[in-house]
Amino acid sequence: MMSAPMLRLEGVQKSFGGLTAVAALSLEVPAGCVAGLMGPNGAGKTTVINLITGLLRADSGVIALDGAPIQHLPVHAIAARGIARTYQNVRLFAGMTALEQVMAGSYLRRRTSLMASFLALPSARAALRMTRRRALDLLARVGMAARADELAETLSYGEQRRIEIARALGAGPRLLLLDEPTAGMNAQESEAIGRLVHTLRDDGLTVLMVEHNVRLVSDFCDQVTVMSFGRALVHGTPTACMADPEVQEAYFGRKEDAQRIRALR
Amino acid sequence: MADFWAAYQSTLGFAMVNAFFALSTYAVLSAGMLSFATVTFAALGGFLGAQLAVHLALPPVLVMPVSALSGALLAYVVALLFLRLDSHWMALASLALVLITRVVALNATALTGGVNGLSVPLSLPLWVLAAILAVICVVFWRLSASWYGIAARAVREDAAVAATLGIPQRRIQTIAFIISGAVGGLGGILLALMLQFLSPETYFIDIAFTMIAAVVLGGSYHWAGAIVGAVVFTALPVLLQAVVPDFEKVANGICLLLIMIFLPRGLIDPRALRLRRARKAPSR
Amino acid sequence: MSLFVEQLINGCALGSLYALFAIGFGLVFATLGILNAAHGTYASWAAIAALAAVQRLGLPFPLAVLVGVAAGGALGVAVDQIAFQPLRRRGAGMLGALITSIAAWIVLDNLAGVATGQDSLSFPTDSYPGGMLHVGGIAFSTMQLITIIAMLAATLGMHLLVRHSRFGAAMRAVGWKEQAAAIVGVDPRRVVLATAFLAGAASGLAGVLGGISTANVSYSLGEGLMLKGFAAVVVGGYDDVRGAALAGVALGILEVMSAQYVSTSLRDGITYALLLGFLLLRPRGLFGGTSFVRA
Ligand SMILES: Nc1ncnc2c1ncn2[C@@H]1O[C@H](COP(=O)(O)OP(=O)(O)OP(=O)(O)O)[C@@H](O)[C@H]1O
Ligand SMILES: [Mg+2]
């Protein structure tokens, strides 16, 4: 936990017209850590993920990966630095099977030239076979191996989410950004995602996860940042954050509600 | 009977040449771009190849690679200029390029023979044409299964998501243009060899519309769709002429309209096939 | 000097036809997202309809123009409903509509050829104001004056409608997203129909006026307008009526002037060289502002 931060946001600001979605946000995610990002609807969590991956450009501030600023890089170059993500509203490619989705995600690991593929050289064929095997392994990892050849859009929402995780892993990232990976899943499925995240961390991946499920965050995250109206309210261990009165106020509206919800857990 | 064969032989030849144009259009379409620039690549490949054949008396085997290469080079330049534009503008700009092509063809008399045209004293046996098409098909088949094919599909379906997976849109689309240029340039010289005569009107808006219609008709989500579309689109007027003489073009248009309305994704649609398979499979 | 001014007027009149074509083409492209290959055939058919109104019904000039404009508009709506509406319902993108518009172009173009007997017809000389006007030693025809005025009126009307009316706001909203029009409080279907009609009518106006002044009523009338009017759309930008109109007029003047002072054979070359220049240097047209976001 004491290693240098892998991801560092410093004074990041983003407005849409008059609306400030992210305001002077600073955030650090140490290497090898599972960090949670929480906050009520519209707090700016997805915007933060979009800023890190370059889909949106920050108005000001610094976003650094391993100490090197990345906020000026094109989206694909940021991905090439080792950042992969999933989407809150699943965005799989239409018409592709589960396996093809993951192979698309493996672009950065293609290991063969265009000319070789063009001429169908043995090296290109071997590389393609390897990509396919790796993609199948990743699908197995998220429990989707049996569905590899099915059209992804015909699968259930939860299954699509898991394919998206496998697709993101295809790029072989060092930092994985998950935007509400358990939305629409039942308790068991969510639990499985949590365990998957832990095994990924144990393999050396750093994870930043937007998550509403308090229980999941408490059980699986090493640190949490709670956002509200574009600002970081508190930062710390899950238990400390949940106990913070300001968080309860922001998250649950009134303190009594928070107490009730906690009692219900 | 001999007449009959002769008539259909030329239809078959034109169907195959159109398949090259359709594949060239498919190459860019499959990376998410609507471009008519194939006509320009074909014009360069056709005129340049024809000149080489006429003046240097090069045999077709040498002319064709030069045509393909020139098309690819031009396509690279076009890609540099066009990939800055968004999709709507690219469609307009490439159509403008087609118009410019004809004017250049009219005025660059040294290359094109201007209004007098250019006769091409070479011909190509049908089986050679078929063999070249077969080779190109193998290349498209290999490519569609390669990392490039999958990346191109990803860019087409959702360029932003593709970028977050590290797939650089510009680079993929530049490659798509270069492939389109090579196949288009090759198609250009093959058309010249089929017609044995070129004029500035040879490579014009008709080809642009025909090939895009052929691709979408055949199915723009699989390379085989381009070939099916080209064959159907070439054979249909010939068949309709037998059924409704004088109105075969009108009937052709109506057929195109009906197919698009009832099969908007074209005759060959891998997604529909997979969906049907998924519905049949009892596993769910 | 008077030759120059006369040629300037010639250019303006010719360019007005391109402009009329371009504003309709651009309107459909910006609002409905359709690259309409059939747009030129509306002009051919409007001219044919107006000619029929003169020859069969003996209608006077203003009514014949009206018949042509109405025919262009009606054809615009008919093509939209037959060729584009089924695809719109399925949410197919710009590609499908391009193909069905090509289909409509093939059908209408060939039928126009049949309607005129593959001939180029012309209006009887007594069926339109054919006189010459002389102002301070400069001569121009009444038809040229009418054409320029018609273009100015259509451009102004269209600009006011698109930019300064509630309906225009809905049009722009439809171009952005169909549900947005409903939020502005206008039925998107009505916006689609109105757009298709207005575009067809503008193309029809160009067809009738062009058919009279070039003495060419045939399928090639629309094709010629298409090739030049399209250049005007690219140079002027399709999302601004004024830009397309200005570019149309400029291209007309350029065409006439280069034929007069440079060379007839290079006339089209100069037009398209300018087009290429614009593509490279100002890829979004004269007034090119914000464009479709690619997201
Ligand atoms: N592209 C955009 N254009 C305009 N406003 C936007 C855009 N993206 C987000 N917003 C606004 O920014 C604010 C933050 O949105 P964001 O999606 O980041 O919230 P979130 O924390 O992810 O919420 P949720 O829990 O609902 O996913 C919201 O008010 C949203 O409406
Ligand atoms: Mg969100």
DSSP string, B77-135: HHHHHHTTS-HHHHHHHHHHHHHHHHHHHHH-HHHH-GGG-EE------HHHHHHHHHH
Maximum pairwise Cα distance, chain B: 66
C266 and B CB contact within 8 Å: yes
* CATH number of B13-280, picked from 1.20.950, 2.60.40, 1.10.260, 1.10.3470: 1.10.3470
| Cα–Cα distance measured from residue C168 to residue C152, given in angstroms and rounded to the nearest whole number | 19
User: For residue A42, how far is its CA from the centre of ligand 1 (angstroms)?
Assistant: 5
The Cα angle at residue C250 between residues C246 and C255, in degrees rounded to 5: 150
Q: Is A203 exposed, middle or buried (0-12, 13-18, 19+ CB in 10 A)?
A: exposed
Q: What is the pLDDT of residues C11-47, one digit of tens each?
A: 999 999 999 999 999 999 888 888 899 999 999 999 9
Domains identified in chain C, total number: 1
Q: Is A5 exposed, middle or buried (0-12, 13-18, 19+ CB in 10 A)?
A: middle
* Assigned domain for C60 exists: yes
Q: Residue C177 — very low, low, confident or very high, per pLDDT cuts 50/70/90?
A: low
Closest alpha carbon to C295 in A58, A104, A56, A73: A56
Q: Residue B248 — very low, low, confident or very high, per pLDDT cuts 50/70/90?
A: confident
What CATH number has the domain bearing residue A58?
Answer: 3.40.50.300
- What residues in C contact B87, CB-CB < 8 Å? 94, 292, 294
* Assigned domain for C288 exists: no
Exposure on the CB side of residue A159, measured as CA atoms within 13 A: 17
* Assigned domain for A28 exists: yes
- What residues in B contact C86, CB-CB < 8 Å? 261
Average pLDDT rounded to a whole number, residues A168-178: 95
* Assigned domain for A137 exists: no
Q: Flag if A105 and B165 touch (Cβ within 8 Å).
A: yes
Nearest to B34 among C95, C103, C268 (CB): C95
Average pLDDT rounded to a whole number, residues A209-228: 90
| Cα–Cα distance measured from residue C86 to residue B229, given in angstroms and rounded to the nearest whole number | 21
- The residue whose C-alpha atom lies closest to atom 31 belonging to ligand 1 is A42
Domain ranges of chain B: 13-280
Residue with the bigger pLDDT between B42 and A17: it is B42
Q: Residue C289 — very low, low, confident or very high, per pLDDT cuts 50/70/90?
A: very low
Kindly tell me if the per-residue pLDDT of B113 is higher than 90. no
- The residue whose C-alpha atom lies closest to atom 28 belonging to ligand 1 is A42
Can you state the angle between helices A98-105 and A122-141, rounded to 10 degrees?
110
Average pLDDT rounded to a whole number, residues B244-264: 85
Q: Residue B4 — very low, low, confident or very high, per pLDDT cuts 50/70/90?
A: low
| Cα–Cα distance measured from residue C151 to residue C206, given in angstroms and rounded to the nearest whole number | 9
Domains identified in chain A, total number: 1
Q: What residue type is assigned to position A153 of the chain? A: E
Q: What is the pLDDT of residues B149-183, one digit of tens each?
A: 999 999 999 999 999 999 999 999 999 999 999 99
pTM, 2 dp = 0.89
Nearest-ligand number for the alpha carbon of A22? 1
Share of chain C above pLDDT 90, in %: 42
Query: Which of A19, A85, A208 best tests ligand 1's pocket when mutated (most atoms within 8 Å of CB)?
Result: A19
Per-residue pLDDT at A45: 94
Q: Which structural domain, as residue segments, surrounds residue C126?
A: 2-281
Chain B neighbours among C 142-171 (CB < 8 Å)?
none
Spell out the alpha helix ranges (H) of chain C: 2-32, 39-55, 61-79, 85-90, 94-115, 142-164, 166-176, 178-184, 188-213, 219-236, 241-261, 267-281
Q: What is the pLDDT of residues C110-153, one digit of tens each?
A: 999 998 888 888 888 888 888 888 888 888 899 999 999 999 99
Per-residue pLDDT at C92: 64
Q: Flag if B278 and A131 touch (Cβ within 8 Å).
A: no
Q: Residue B284 — very low, low, confident or very high, per pLDDT cuts 50/70/90?
A: very low
Per-residue pLDDT at B274: 82
Q: What is the pLDDT of residues B82-95, one digit of tens each?
A: 898 877 778 878 88
Share of chain A above pLDDT 70, in %: 93
Q: Flag if B253 and C231 touch (Cβ within 8 Å).
A: no
* Assigned domain for C287 exists: no
- The residue whose C-alpha atom lies closest to atom 14 belonging to ligand 1 is A44
Q: Return mean pLDDT, chain A.
A: 89
Ligand 1 atom closest to residue A210's alpha carbon, by position in its atom list = 22
Choice among A140-149, B51-60, B187-196, B238-247 with the minimum mean pLDDT: B238-247
* Assigned domain for A48 exists: yes
Q: Residue A256 — very low, low, confident or very high, per pLDDT cuts 50/70/90?
A: low
Average pLDDT rounded to a whole number, residues A11-29: 92
**How long a stretch of residues is chain A?**
265
* Assigned domain for A218 exists: yes
What CATH number has the domain bearing residue C140?
Answer: 1.10.3470
User: For residue A161, how far is its CA from the centre of ligand 2 (angstroms)?
Assistant: 15
Q: Residue C253 — very low, low, confident or very high, per pLDDT cuts 50/70/90?
A: very high
Share of chain B above pLDDT 90, in %: 48
Choice among A123-132, B42-51, C259-268 with the minimum mean pLDDT: C259-268
Q: Residue C188 — very low, low, confident or very high, per pLDDT cuts 50/70/90?
A: confident
| Cα–Cα distance measured from residue B166 to residue B153, given in angstroms and rounded to the nearest whole number | 14
Token pair of C28 as six digits:
């459909």
Q: Is A255 exposed, middle or buried (0-12, 13-18, 19+ CB in 10 A)?
A: exposed
Kindly tell me if the per-residue pLDDT of C292 is higher than 60. no
Per-residue pLDDT at A143: 92
Token pair of A168 as six digits:
């993101």
Kindly tell me if the per-residue pLDDT of C1 is higher than 80. no
Q: Residue A121 — very low, low, confident or very high, per pLDDT cuts 50/70/90?
A: confident
> In DSSP terms, which residues pair with A28 in a beta bridge?
A8
Average pLDDT rounded to a whole number, residues A32-47: 92
Kindly tell me if the per-residue pLDDT of C263 is higher than 90. no
Q: Flag if A118 and B139 touch (Cβ within 8 Å).
A: yes
Q: Which structural domain, as residue segments, surrounds residue A184?
A: 5-82+173-264
Which one-letter DSSP state was computed for residue C293? -
CA B173 to chain A, closest CA, distance in angstroms equals 13
Kindly tell me if the per-residue pLDDT of A52 is higher than 90. yes
C256 with C211: CB under 8 angstroms? no
Nearest to C272 among B29, B99, B217 (CB): B99
Q: Residue C182 — very low, low, confident or very high, per pLDDT cuts 50/70/90?
A: low
Per-residue pLDDT at C294: 30
Cα dihedral sign for A170, A176, A177, A182?
positive
| Cα–Cα distance measured from residue C20 to residue C22, given in angstroms and rounded to the nearest whole number | 5
Nearest-ligand number for the alpha carbon of A227? 1
Taking the CB of residue C84, how many other CB atoms lie within 10 A of it? 25
DSSP letters spanning A174-216:
SEEEEESTTTT--HHHHHHHHHHHHHHHHTT-EEEEE---HHH
Choice among A15-29, A165-179, B50-64, B110-124 with the minimum mean pLDDT: B110-124
> In DSSP terms, which residues pair with A20 in a beta bridge?
A15
B182 with B71: CB under 8 angstroms? yes
